[in-house]
A and B are shown apart, each in its own frame.
Chain A
Protein backbone atom coordinates (compact mmCIF):
# COMPACT_ATOMS: atom_id res chain seq x y z
CA UNK A 1 0.00 0.00 0.00
CA UNK A 2 1.48 3.34 -0.97
CA UNK A 3 -0.09 6.15 0.94
CA UNK A 4 3.07 7.95 1.91
CA UNK A 5 1.83 11.20 0.38
CA UNK A 6 -1.52 11.14 2.14
CA UNK A 7 -2.26 14.52 3.66
CA UNK A 8 -5.95 14.59 4.26
CA UNK A 9 -9.00 12.38 4.77
CA UNK A 10 -12.38 13.99 4.27
CA UNK A 11 -15.87 12.82 5.16
CA UNK A 12 -18.31 14.76 3.01
CA UNK A 13 -21.93 14.60 4.08
CA UNK A 14 -23.53 15.48 0.76
CA UNK A 15 -22.97 14.09 -2.72
CA UNK A 16 -22.40 17.60 -4.09
CA UNK A 17 -19.59 18.19 -1.59
CA UNK A 18 -18.00 14.81 -2.36
CA UNK A 19 -18.10 15.50 -6.10
CA UNK A 20 -16.60 18.95 -5.60
CA UNK A 21 -13.72 17.63 -3.48
CA UNK A 22 -13.01 14.81 -5.95
CA UNK A 23 -13.13 17.14 -8.95
CA UNK A 24 -10.81 19.65 -7.30
CA UNK A 25 -8.44 16.94 -6.15
CA UNK A 26 -8.22 15.47 -9.69
CA UNK A 27 -6.08 12.34 -9.68
CA UNK A 28 -4.60 13.26 -6.29
CA UNK A 29 -7.90 12.44 -4.55
CA UNK A 30 -9.64 9.09 -4.34
CA UNK A 31 -13.06 7.98 -3.15
CA UNK A 32 -13.36 5.13 -0.67
CA UNK A 33 -16.65 3.43 -0.01
CA UNK A 34 -16.26 0.21 2.00
CA UNK A 35 -12.55 0.74 1.58
CA UNK A 36 -11.87 -2.98 1.36
CA UNK A 37 -10.34 -3.27 -2.09
CA UNK A 38 -6.94 -1.92 -1.01
CA UNK A 39 -6.16 -5.50 -0.06
CA UNK A 40 -6.37 -6.63 -3.70
CA UNK A 41 -5.60 -3.44 -5.61
CA UNK A 42 -2.90 -1.38 -3.87
CA UNK A 43 -4.02 2.20 -3.43
CA UNK A 44 -2.28 4.62 -5.73
CA UNK A 45 -0.38 7.32 -4.00
CA UNK A 46 -2.95 10.01 -3.34
CA UNK A 47 -2.95 13.14 -1.22
CA UNK A 48 -6.55 12.88 -0.20
CA UNK A 49 -8.96 10.09 0.61
CA UNK A 50 -12.63 10.96 0.33
CA UNK A 51 -14.68 8.64 2.55
CA UNK A 52 -18.18 8.15 1.23
CA UNK A 53 -19.41 6.50 4.43
CA UNK A 54 -21.31 9.55 5.69
CA UNK A 55 -23.21 10.21 2.46
CA UNK A 56 -26.96 9.56 2.67
CA UNK A 57 -26.61 6.75 0.14
CA UNK A 58 -27.26 3.69 2.26
CA UNK A 59 -30.73 2.39 1.42
CA UNK A 60 -32.74 -0.21 -0.51
CA UNK A 61 -36.06 1.22 -1.70
CA UNK A 62 -38.91 -0.19 -3.70
CA UNK A 63 -40.34 2.45 -5.98
CA UNK A 64 -42.45 2.58 -9.12
CA UNK A 65 -39.33 2.89 -11.23
CA UNK A 66 -37.79 -0.23 -9.70
CA UNK A 67 -35.58 -1.23 -6.82
CA UNK A 68 -33.22 1.62 -5.92
CA UNK A 69 -30.06 0.78 -4.02
CA UNK A 70 -27.76 3.49 -2.65
CA UNK A 71 -24.10 3.10 -3.59
CA UNK A 72 -22.88 3.13 0.00
CA UNK A 73 -25.25 0.36 1.14
CA UNK A 74 -23.25 -2.45 2.77
CA UNK A 75 -23.95 -5.72 0.97
CA UNK A 76 -24.96 -7.10 4.40
CA UNK A 77 -27.95 -4.72 4.29
CA UNK A 78 -28.84 -5.80 0.77
CA UNK A 79 -28.69 -9.42 1.92
CA UNK A 80 -31.11 -8.64 4.75
CA UNK A 81 -33.41 -6.25 2.89
CA UNK A 82 -37.08 -7.31 2.68
CA UNK A 83 -37.48 -5.05 -0.38
CA UNK A 84 -34.63 -6.85 -2.15
CA UNK A 85 -36.25 -10.14 -1.11
CA UNK A 86 -39.38 -9.23 -3.07
CA UNK A 87 -37.47 -8.37 -6.24
CA UNK A 88 -36.97 -11.06 -8.88
CA UNK A 89 -37.65 -13.95 -6.53
CA UNK A 90 -35.06 -12.70 -4.03
CA UNK A 91 -32.13 -13.12 -6.41
CA UNK A 92 -30.28 -10.04 -5.11
CA UNK A 93 -30.46 -11.24 -1.54
CA UNK A 94 -29.28 -14.65 -2.62
CA UNK A 95 -26.28 -13.14 -4.41
CA UNK A 96 -25.45 -10.62 -1.67
CA UNK A 97 -25.51 -13.32 1.00
CA UNK A 98 -22.71 -15.17 -0.73
CA UNK A 99 -20.34 -12.25 -1.11
CA UNK A 100 -17.38 -12.86 1.19
CA UNK A 101 -18.15 -13.59 4.85
CA UNK A 102 -20.52 -11.97 7.33
CA UNK A 103 -17.64 -9.77 8.52
CA UNK A 104 -16.68 -8.76 4.96
CA UNK A 105 -20.30 -8.01 4.02
CA UNK A 106 -20.56 -5.41 6.78
CA UNK A 107 -17.78 -3.46 5.05
CA UNK A 108 -18.16 -4.15 1.31
CA UNK A 109 -20.59 -1.74 -0.33
CA UNK A 110 -22.80 -2.15 -3.37
CA UNK A 111 -21.12 0.82 -5.11
CA UNK A 112 -17.58 -0.40 -4.43
CA UNK A 113 -18.49 -3.86 -5.72
CA UNK A 114 -19.87 -2.41 -8.96
CA UNK A 115 -17.23 0.26 -9.63
CA UNK A 116 -14.23 -1.99 -9.24
CA UNK A 117 -14.94 -5.48 -10.53
CA UNK A 118 -12.53 -8.28 -9.77
CA UNK A 119 -12.76 -11.69 -11.40
CA UNK A 120 -14.78 -12.97 -8.44
CA UNK A 121 -17.19 -10.03 -8.23
CA UNK A 122 -20.86 -10.93 -8.03
CA UNK A 123 -23.03 -7.82 -8.33
CA UNK A 124 -21.77 -6.79 -11.80
CA UNK A 125 -23.04 -10.12 -13.22
CA UNK A 126 -26.54 -9.61 -11.84
CA UNK A 127 -26.63 -5.90 -12.67
CA UNK A 128 -25.85 -6.74 -16.29
CA UNK A 129 -28.44 -9.54 -16.44
CA UNK A 130 -31.13 -7.14 -15.20
CA UNK A 131 -29.93 -4.26 -17.35
CA UNK A 132 -29.77 -2.15 -14.20
CA UNK A 133 -29.28 1.63 -14.46
CA UNK A 134 -26.30 3.28 -12.86
CA UNK A 135 -26.97 6.77 -11.57
CA UNK A 136 -23.85 8.90 -11.74
CA UNK A 137 -23.28 12.35 -10.27
CA UNK A 138 -20.40 14.51 -11.42
CA UNK A 139 -19.24 18.10 -11.60
CA UNK A 140 -21.33 18.56 -14.77
CA UNK A 141 -24.50 17.08 -13.31
CA UNK A 142 -26.27 13.77 -13.28
CA UNK A 143 -26.33 11.04 -15.89
CA UNK A 144 -27.61 7.51 -16.03
CA UNK A 145 -25.88 4.64 -17.75
CA UNK A 146 -27.28 1.20 -18.46
CA UNK A 147 -25.22 -1.68 -17.10
CA UNK A 148 -24.34 -2.67 -20.69
CA UNK A 149 -22.49 0.64 -21.10
CA UNK A 150 -21.15 0.77 -17.54
CA UNK A 151 -19.49 -2.62 -17.89
CA UNK A 152 -18.38 -2.17 -21.51
CA UNK A 153 -14.96 -1.26 -20.05
CA UNK A 154 -13.65 -1.16 -16.51
CA UNK A 155 -16.17 1.18 -14.86
CA UNK A 156 -13.40 3.35 -13.41
CA UNK A 157 -12.52 4.23 -17.02
CA UNK A 158 -16.17 4.88 -17.82
CA UNK A 159 -16.52 7.33 -14.91
CA UNK A 160 -15.09 10.76 -15.63
CA UNK A 161 -13.01 12.79 -13.22
CA UNK A 162 -14.97 13.71 -10.12
CA UNK A 163 -17.87 11.41 -10.97
CA UNK A 164 -19.46 9.18 -8.36
CA UNK A 165 -21.83 6.28 -8.73
CA UNK A 166 -24.66 7.25 -6.38
CA UNK A 167 -27.32 4.63 -6.99
CA UNK A 168 -28.13 1.48 -8.94
CA UNK A 169 -31.70 0.95 -10.10
CA UNK A 170 -33.00 -2.51 -10.91
CA UNK A 171 -35.94 -2.06 -13.32
CA UNK A 172 -39.42 -3.37 -12.51
CA UNK A 173 -39.92 -6.91 -13.79
CA UNK A 174 -42.83 -8.09 -15.88
CA UNK A 175 -45.23 -10.50 -14.23
CA UNK A 176 -44.23 -13.37 -16.50
CA UNK A 177 -40.51 -13.03 -15.87
CA UNK A 178 -38.28 -15.63 -14.27
CA UNK A 179 -34.78 -15.23 -12.91
CA UNK A 180 -31.98 -17.44 -11.64
CA UNK A 181 -28.40 -17.17 -10.44
CA UNK A 182 -26.00 -20.02 -9.89
CA UNK A 183 -22.37 -20.19 -9.02
CA UNK A 184 -19.90 -22.95 -8.55
CA UNK A 185 -17.02 -23.14 -6.12
CA UNK A 186 -15.35 -25.98 -4.29
CA UNK A 187 -15.88 -24.66 -0.77
CA UNK A 188 -18.10 -22.07 0.79
CA UNK A 189 -15.24 -19.60 1.29
CA UNK A 190 -13.59 -20.05 -2.10
CA UNK A 191 -14.11 -17.57 -4.90
CA UNK A 192 -16.50 -18.96 -7.52
CA UNK A 193 -15.10 -20.61 -10.63
CA UNK A 194 -18.02 -19.40 -12.68
CA UNK A 195 -21.44 -17.86 -12.19
CA UNK A 196 -24.46 -17.48 -14.42
CA UNK A 197 -27.40 -15.10 -14.12
CA UNK A 198 -30.45 -15.45 -16.37
CA UNK A 199 -33.51 -13.21 -16.63
CA UNK A 200 -36.26 -14.08 -19.05
CA UNK A 201 -39.87 -13.35 -19.77
CA UNK A 202 -42.13 -16.02 -21.20
CA UNK A 203 -45.60 -16.81 -22.31
CA UNK A 204 -46.16 -20.49 -21.71
CA UNK A 205 -43.02 -22.08 -23.13
CA UNK A 206 -42.47 -19.23 -25.55
CA UNK A 207 -39.45 -17.21 -24.59
CA UNK A 208 -40.29 -13.56 -25.22
CA UNK A 209 -37.01 -12.05 -24.14
CA UNK A 210 -33.96 -13.07 -22.15
CA UNK A 211 -30.52 -12.13 -20.89
CA UNK A 212 -27.85 -14.73 -20.21
CA UNK A 213 -24.83 -13.36 -18.35
CA UNK A 214 -21.75 -15.21 -17.15
CA UNK A 215 -19.34 -13.82 -14.58
CA UNK A 216 -15.90 -14.93 -13.35
CA UNK A 217 -14.77 -16.13 -16.79
CA UNK A 218 -13.27 -12.67 -17.35
CA UNK A 219 -13.07 -9.68 -14.99
CA UNK A 220 -16.06 -8.01 -16.62
CA UNK A 221 -19.27 -10.03 -16.88
CA UNK A 222 -20.25 -11.19 -20.38
CA UNK A 223 -23.67 -11.08 -21.92
CA UNK A 224 -24.01 -14.04 -24.30
CA UNK A 225 -26.06 -12.62 -27.13
CA UNK A 226 -25.64 -15.45 -29.62
CA UNK A 227 -26.98 -17.92 -27.08
CA UNK A 228 -29.86 -15.58 -26.27
CA UNK A 229 -30.64 -15.39 -30.00
CA UNK A 230 -31.24 -19.15 -30.12
CA UNK A 231 -34.22 -18.80 -27.78
CA UNK A 232 -35.57 -15.27 -28.17
CA UNK A 233 -39.08 -15.28 -29.62
CA UNK A 234 -39.21 -19.07 -29.94
CA UNK A 235 -41.14 -21.80 -28.22
CA UNK A 236 -38.54 -23.55 -26.13
CA UNK A 237 -37.88 -27.26 -26.00
CA UNK A 238 -35.02 -29.44 -24.86
CA UNK A 239 -33.26 -29.31 -28.23
CA UNK A 240 -33.24 -25.50 -28.28
CA UNK A 241 -32.13 -25.30 -24.65
CA UNK A 242 -29.26 -27.69 -25.38
CA UNK A 243 -28.30 -25.62 -28.40
CA UNK A 244 -28.39 -22.35 -26.45
CA UNK A 245 -26.14 -23.77 -23.75
CA UNK A 246 -23.71 -25.11 -26.38
CA UNK A 247 -23.55 -21.72 -28.06
CA UNK A 248 -23.10 -19.99 -24.68
CA UNK A 249 -20.15 -22.23 -23.84
CA UNK A 250 -18.60 -21.58 -27.24
CA UNK A 251 -18.95 -17.81 -27.32
CA UNK A 252 -17.70 -17.32 -23.76
CA UNK A 253 -14.28 -15.67 -23.49
CA UNK A 254 -12.21 -17.20 -20.73
CA UNK A 255 -9.32 -15.71 -18.80
CA UNK A 256 -6.73 -18.14 -17.51
CA UNK A 257 -7.49 -19.46 -14.04
CA UNK A 258 -4.80 -21.48 -12.28
CA UNK A 259 -7.46 -23.57 -10.55
CA UNK A 260 -8.84 -25.26 -13.65
CA UNK A 261 -8.51 -25.59 -17.42
CA UNK A 262 -10.35 -23.53 -19.98
CA UNK A 263 -12.24 -26.66 -21.08
CA UNK A 264 -13.44 -27.21 -17.55
CA UNK A 265 -14.83 -23.67 -17.40
CA UNK A 266 -16.56 -24.16 -20.73
CA UNK A 267 -18.18 -27.33 -19.42
CA UNK A 268 -19.28 -25.47 -16.31
CA UNK A 269 -20.79 -22.72 -18.45
CA UNK A 270 -22.68 -25.25 -20.57
CA UNK A 271 -24.00 -27.04 -17.49
CA UNK A 272 -25.00 -23.88 -15.63
CA UNK A 273 -26.83 -22.34 -18.58
CA UNK A 274 -28.61 -25.59 -19.47
CA UNK A 275 -29.60 -26.33 -15.85
CA UNK A 276 -31.02 -22.85 -15.31
CA UNK A 277 -32.96 -22.85 -18.61
CA UNK A 278 -34.37 -26.30 -17.97
CA UNK A 279 -35.60 -25.06 -14.62
CA UNK A 280 -36.98 -21.63 -15.42
CA UNK A 281 -38.00 -22.07 -19.04
CA UNK A 282 -38.90 -25.76 -19.38
CA UNK A 283 -40.19 -26.09 -15.79
CA UNK A 284 -38.17 -29.24 -15.21
CA UNK A 285 -37.26 -30.21 -11.69
CA UNK A 286 -33.53 -29.85 -12.17
CA UNK A 287 -31.75 -29.82 -8.84
CA UNK A 288 -29.91 -26.57 -8.27
CA UNK A 289 -26.15 -26.79 -7.98
CA UNK A 290 -25.31 -26.71 -4.35
CA UNK A 291 -24.81 -23.03 -3.96
CA UNK A 292 -21.53 -22.56 -2.19
Chain B
Protein backbone atom coordinates (compact mmCIF):
# COMPACT_ATOMS: atom_id res chain seq x y z
CA UNK B 1 0.00 0.00 0.00
CA UNK B 2 1.64 3.22 -1.10
CA UNK B 3 1.76 6.10 1.35
CA UNK B 4 3.31 9.55 1.21
CA UNK B 5 5.39 10.62 4.18
CA UNK B 6 7.34 13.78 4.72
CA UNK B 7 10.43 12.80 6.67
CA UNK B 8 12.71 15.58 7.87
CA UNK B 9 11.27 17.90 5.24
CA UNK B 10 11.63 15.48 2.33
CA UNK B 11 8.54 14.00 0.71
CA UNK B 12 8.79 10.24 0.22
CA UNK B 13 6.49 7.80 -1.56
CA UNK B 14 6.86 4.38 -0.08
CA UNK B 15 5.17 1.00 -0.06
CA UNK B 16 4.04 0.22 3.50
CA UNK B 17 3.31 -3.39 4.41
CA UNK B 18 -0.10 -4.07 6.00
CA UNK B 19 1.04 -4.93 9.52
CA UNK B 20 4.20 -2.85 9.54
CA UNK B 21 4.69 -0.23 12.23
CA UNK B 22 5.96 3.26 11.46
CA UNK B 23 9.07 2.31 13.45
CA UNK B 24 9.83 -0.64 11.16
CA UNK B 25 9.09 1.39 8.05
CA UNK B 26 11.37 4.25 9.05
CA UNK B 27 14.21 1.87 9.84
CA UNK B 28 13.66 0.12 6.50
CA UNK B 29 13.93 3.55 4.87
CA UNK B 30 17.31 4.02 6.55
CA UNK B 31 16.32 6.21 9.51
CA UNK B 32 18.14 4.00 11.98
CA UNK B 33 18.25 6.65 14.70
CA UNK B 34 14.69 5.50 15.44
CA UNK B 35 15.32 2.57 17.78
CA UNK B 36 13.38 -0.56 18.62
CA UNK B 37 13.17 -1.14 22.36
CA UNK B 38 9.97 -2.72 23.64
CA UNK B 39 7.64 -2.52 20.66
CA UNK B 40 4.69 -1.72 22.92
CA UNK B 41 4.81 1.93 23.77
CA UNK B 42 6.64 1.65 27.07
CA UNK B 43 10.26 2.75 26.47
CA UNK B 44 10.29 5.71 24.07
CA UNK B 45 13.39 4.65 22.12
CA UNK B 46 11.28 4.77 18.94
CA UNK B 47 10.14 8.38 19.53
CA UNK B 48 9.52 10.51 16.46
CA UNK B 49 7.77 13.83 16.05
CA UNK B 50 4.58 13.27 14.05
CA UNK B 51 2.74 16.39 12.94
CA UNK B 52 4.49 18.34 15.69
CA UNK B 53 3.91 15.91 18.57
CA UNK B 54 6.28 13.36 20.05
CA UNK B 55 4.84 9.84 19.72
CA UNK B 56 5.91 6.20 19.92
CA UNK B 57 6.44 5.13 16.30
CA UNK B 58 6.00 1.48 17.37
CA UNK B 59 2.35 2.26 18.19
CA UNK B 60 1.56 3.70 14.76
CA UNK B 61 0.60 1.40 11.90
CA UNK B 62 2.58 2.63 8.90
CA UNK B 63 -0.40 2.37 6.55
CA UNK B 64 -2.26 4.87 8.73
CA UNK B 65 0.51 7.48 8.55
CA UNK B 66 -0.27 8.69 5.04
CA UNK B 67 0.44 12.43 4.57
CA UNK B 68 1.96 12.77 8.02
CA UNK B 69 5.04 14.87 8.70
CA UNK B 70 7.75 13.05 10.56
CA UNK B 71 10.82 14.47 12.23
CA UNK B 72 13.58 12.15 13.40
CA UNK B 73 16.70 13.23 15.24
CA UNK B 74 18.55 13.18 11.90
CA UNK B 75 16.44 16.16 10.89
CA UNK B 76 17.39 18.17 13.97
CA UNK B 77 21.14 18.38 13.67
CA UNK B 78 24.18 16.77 12.11
CA UNK B 79 27.56 15.80 13.49
CA UNK B 80 28.98 18.98 11.93
CA UNK B 81 26.10 21.19 13.01
CA UNK B 82 24.51 19.66 16.06
CA UNK B 83 21.31 21.09 17.50
CA UNK B 84 21.78 23.01 20.80
CA UNK B 85 19.96 20.20 22.62
CA UNK B 86 22.45 17.67 21.26
CA UNK B 87 25.42 19.83 22.30
CA UNK B 88 23.92 20.36 25.74
CA UNK B 89 23.37 16.60 26.19
CA UNK B 90 27.03 15.92 25.40
CA UNK B 91 28.23 18.66 27.74
CA UNK B 92 25.94 17.59 30.58
CA UNK B 93 27.01 13.94 30.30
CA UNK B 94 23.46 12.96 29.38
CA UNK B 95 24.62 10.27 26.96
CA UNK B 96 26.16 6.94 27.86
CA UNK B 97 25.30 4.03 25.55
CA UNK B 98 23.15 6.43 23.51
CA UNK B 99 20.29 4.06 22.80
CA UNK B 100 17.66 6.28 24.41
CA UNK B 101 19.25 9.52 23.23
CA UNK B 102 17.45 10.15 19.92
CA UNK B 103 14.10 9.74 21.67
CA UNK B 104 15.15 11.88 24.63
CA UNK B 105 16.38 14.67 22.36
CA UNK B 106 13.15 14.66 20.35
CA UNK B 107 10.95 14.71 23.46
CA UNK B 108 13.07 17.56 24.83
CA UNK B 109 12.76 19.40 21.51
CA UNK B 110 8.96 19.08 21.55
CA UNK B 111 8.88 20.41 25.11
CA UNK B 112 11.09 23.42 24.36
CA UNK B 113 9.05 24.28 21.26
CA UNK B 114 5.98 24.54 23.47
CA UNK B 115 7.60 25.83 26.67
CA UNK B 116 10.99 27.52 26.21
CA UNK B 117 11.52 27.93 29.95
CA UNK B 118 10.29 24.70 31.53
CA UNK B 119 10.38 23.89 35.23
CA UNK B 120 12.17 20.72 36.33
CA UNK B 121 8.76 19.12 36.88
CA UNK B 122 7.71 19.97 33.32
CA UNK B 123 10.96 18.48 31.98
CA UNK B 124 10.44 15.28 33.94
CA UNK B 125 6.85 15.03 32.77
CA UNK B 126 7.80 15.61 29.13
CA UNK B 127 10.38 12.81 29.35
CA UNK B 128 8.19 10.39 31.32
CA UNK B 129 7.80 8.06 28.35
CA UNK B 130 11.52 7.87 27.56
CA UNK B 131 13.41 5.32 29.60
CA UNK B 132 17.17 5.42 30.08
CA UNK B 133 18.93 2.41 31.58
CA UNK B 134 22.33 4.13 31.89
CA UNK B 135 22.40 7.71 33.09
CA UNK B 136 19.93 7.79 35.95
CA UNK B 137 18.16 10.81 34.38
CA UNK B 138 19.85 13.53 36.45
CA UNK B 139 22.22 14.51 33.65
CA UNK B 140 19.46 14.29 31.07
CA UNK B 141 17.33 16.78 33.01
CA UNK B 142 20.43 18.97 33.38
CA UNK B 143 21.01 18.71 29.63
CA UNK B 144 17.51 19.94 28.88
CA UNK B 145 17.90 22.84 31.32
CA UNK B 146 21.21 23.79 29.73
CA UNK B 147 19.69 23.68 26.24
CA UNK B 148 16.68 25.70 27.38
CA UNK B 149 18.96 28.41 28.78
CA UNK B 150 20.81 28.65 25.49
CA UNK B 151 17.78 28.48 23.22
CA UNK B 152 15.57 30.89 25.15
CA UNK B 153 14.42 33.70 22.89
CA UNK B 154 16.25 36.86 24.01
CA UNK B 155 13.93 39.24 25.83
CA UNK B 156 13.53 42.64 24.22
CA UNK B 157 15.18 45.30 26.35
CA UNK B 158 13.10 48.25 25.15
CA UNK B 159 10.61 48.88 27.92
CA UNK B 160 8.01 50.95 26.19
CA UNK B 161 4.81 51.17 28.19
CA UNK B 162 1.82 49.95 26.27
CA UNK B 163 -1.22 52.18 26.31
CA UNK B 164 -3.69 50.82 28.86
CA UNK B 165 -6.42 48.54 27.53
CA UNK B 166 -4.46 47.38 24.50
CA UNK B 167 -3.97 43.68 24.02
CA UNK B 168 -0.49 42.20 24.21
CA UNK B 169 0.90 41.28 20.82
CA UNK B 170 0.56 37.53 20.33
CA UNK B 171 3.93 35.83 20.28
CA UNK B 172 3.87 33.48 17.26
CA UNK B 173 4.72 30.06 18.68
CA UNK B 174 3.21 30.39 22.12
CA UNK B 175 -0.18 31.21 20.67
CA UNK B 176 -0.32 27.80 18.95
CA UNK B 177 -2.85 25.40 20.30
Contact = CB atoms under 8 A, between A and B. Distances in A.
Nearest to B41: A104
A1 B42 CA distance: 18
Contacts, number: 75
B64 to A, nearest CB: 5
B120 to A, nearest CB: 15
B44 interface: yes
Interface residues of A, number: 27
B60 A103 contact: no
Given A4-B18, A106-B55, A101 B44 contact: yes
Interface of A is mostly: loop
A241 to B, nearest CB: 34
Nearest to A97: B125
Given A11-B66, A39-B41, A104 B59 contact: yes
Given A3-B19, A9-B1, A9-B66, A102 B61 contact: no
A32 B126 CA distance: 26
Nearest to B50: A106
Interface in A34-70: 35-36, 38-39, 49, 51, 53
Given A1-B19, A3-B18, A188-B128, A106 B61 contact: no
A103 B126 CA distance: 8
A53 B39 CA distance: 22
B14 to A, nearest CB: 14
Contact of A101 (B1, B18, B63, B128): B128
Contacts of A230: none
A1 B21 CA distance: 11
Interface in A1-42: 1-4, 6, 8-9, 11, 32, 35-36, 38-39
B18 A6 contact: yes
A7 to B, nearest CB: 8
B129 interface: yes
Given A3-B19, A6-B18, A107-B59, A32 B54 contact: no
Contacts of B63: 6, 9, 49
A50 to B, nearest CB: 10
Given A9-B66, A51-B64, A188-B128, A103 B19 contact: no
B53 interface: yes
Contact of B59 (A2, A11, A39, A53): A39
Contacts of A11: 66
B1 A6 contact: yes
A241 B44 CA distance: 43
Interface residues of B, number: 27
A223 B163 CA distance: 56
B53 A76 contact: yes
A35 B61 contact: yes
A38 B18 CA distance: 13
Contacts of A286: none
A118 to B, nearest CB: 13
Nearest to A4: B18
Interface in B98-142: 107, 125-130
Given A1-B19, A9-B1, A106-B53, A35 B128 contact: no
A104 B56 contact: yes
Interface in B10-49: 18-19, 39-42, 44, 47
A35 B1 contact: no
A100 interface: yes
Contacts of A51: 64
Given A1-B19, A49-B63, 9 more contacts: A3-B61, A9-B66, A36-B59, A51-B64, A74-B53, A76-B53, A101-B42, A106-B53, A106-B55
18 contacts: A1-B19, A2-B19, A3-B19, A9-B64, A35-B59, A39-B41, A100-B129, A102-B54, A102-B125, A102-B126, A102-B127, A103-B47, A103-B55, A103-B130, A107-B55, A107-B56, A189-B42, A189-B128
